[in-house]
Amino acid sequence: MNLDLLLLLVFLALIAVFYFTHKNKFEIQNKIFALYKTRLGLEWMDKFARRHPKLLKYLAYVGIAVGFFGMVAMFVILIKATFDLLFVPDSLPALAPVLPGIKIAPGLPTLSFLHWIISIFLIAIVHEFSHGVIARVYNIKIKSSGFAFLGPIPAAFVEPDEKKMEKLSVKAQLSILAAGSFSNILLGLLVILLLAFASFFTNSLLEGNGVIVSQVVNDGPLDLSGINNGENITKIDDVSVGTVEEFYNELSKKKPGQEIILQTDKGTSSVVLGEQPKELLKSRGTIGYLGVGVSPASIDYKQEAVGRYGKTALDFIFWLRQLLFWIWVISLGVGLFNLLPLGPVDGGRMFFLGMMTFVGKEKAMKTWKVATVFLLLLLIINLLPWLMKLLRFIFG
């Protein structure tokens, strides 16, 4: 069995045990949310709100603008992705379940259980803490905080005094509602910057080995030679090329019209190099044109890195880099999803408040309901491919 799936099942079993042993302390809302109320973090929210109230208000106003921009962008993206999914072959759904052991999209690594649980709790805490801080900036009492569960998905929550919150100005209410998603987007941007800087160090620890043909240009010199995607180039003429860098260094010595011998793991072929395409002449000068894209067969730790840090330390360094990657992806995804004008989520409440300002409460309610039903239909369509995968997994 998949280890990440096994850990998820163990985690769910522990949640079930905790729920049934503390059932009287849980509150069920809308028949799907299980809330466990505490007072964790309330003092920190007060302190944070009192320390920088003006700055936080300005940031909250920026959050409103970002929130409505993100709402429109997500709405358009979801409509286009749904259209493509229905009518364009091989299109991918716009949504993916964020669960361990699932490959969310081609080219992305599989989400491990530990990366999932750490990312989810961090992102949920940042989201709800931000709601609570901005609520305290406007002197709204936070009744409780805690964690919640929507099926297998863990979350966090804060419980502001909703009656007092409704008496605030529309701008103040929007500030509180937008704070969670805005903080998730900011966290995502901060982490991607940190990841970019960290990559300068981590990439220096790696080396690519082997030269795999990953792309053959149609009617190019290599295409005419019979060499195919997936073959491993080992020599150019009599010179061994063990890395992509060595391959390009050796190829750069060859001229247009020159015949070279390429040795791969499938055999040997002669290729007459062509003239460089016009768009490549400035960057590649007069070197011969092969018409190929190559990539490493494998990426491994450099031997000097293993000697200096040890393999265990290197594994942990790249585990941390993977964690940063998933925090970025999930934080941005959660922040943008919560901006959808959908039901009771932050974006839905923002949409209703915004519409009510222009068309009144009754028309705003009707528009909000129509938008919610329409978006639920789009979400179901985009999740159907994942449901089909689940059914195939269960029933073989």
Residues 6 or more apart whose CB falls under 8 angstroms from that of 373 comprise none
Radius of gyration of the chain from Cα atoms?
27
Burial 13-39 (b: 16+ CB within 10 A, else e): eeeeeeeeeeeeebeeeeeebbbbbee
CA 124 to chain centre: 15
Quote the pLDDT of residue 285.
54
Q: Mind listing the domains of the chain with CATH numbers?
A: 3-204+313-395 (no CATH), 206-299 (2.30.42.10)
Quote the pLDDT of residue 114.
92
3-state DSSP assignment of residue 76: helix
Inter-CA distances, 199 with 206, 244, 310, 318, 324, Å: 11, 20, 19, 10, 11
Quote the pLDDT of residue 32.
73
- Phi/psi at 99 (5° precision): -130, 150
Residue 356's Cβ-count burial label (10 Å; 0-12, 13-18, 19+) is middle
Cα–Cα distance for residue pair 254/259, rounded to 1 Å: 9
* DSSP code, position 226: T
Cα–Cα distance for residue pair 305/323, rounded to 1 Å: 21
Quote the pLDDT of residue 362.
92
Adjacent-strand bridge partners of 206: 301
Choose among 124, 159, 127: nearest CA to 141: 159
Both tokens of residue 170?
Answer: 């529309």
Cα–Cα distance for residue pair 340/338, rounded to 1 Å: 6
Average pLDDT by stretches of 10, the chain with 396 residues:
79 87 83 84 93 93 96 94 89 82 75 92 94 95 87 81 93 96 96 93 90 86 84 90 88 88 88 78 66 88 92 95 94 94 91 92 93 93 84 70
How many residues are listed for the chain in this entry?
396
Q: From edge to edge, which strands make up the β-sheet containing 267-272?
A: 239-240, 233-236, 259-264, 267-272
* DSSP code, position 253: T
Residues 6 or more apart whose CB falls under 8 angstroms from that of 291 comprise 216, 217, 220, 221, 222, 223, 274
3-state DSSP assignment of residue 281: helix
Quote the pLDDT of residue 1.
55
* DSSP code, position 108: S
Residues 6 or more apart whose CB falls under 8 angstroms from that of 372 comprise 341, 342, 343, 348
* DSSP code, position 23: G
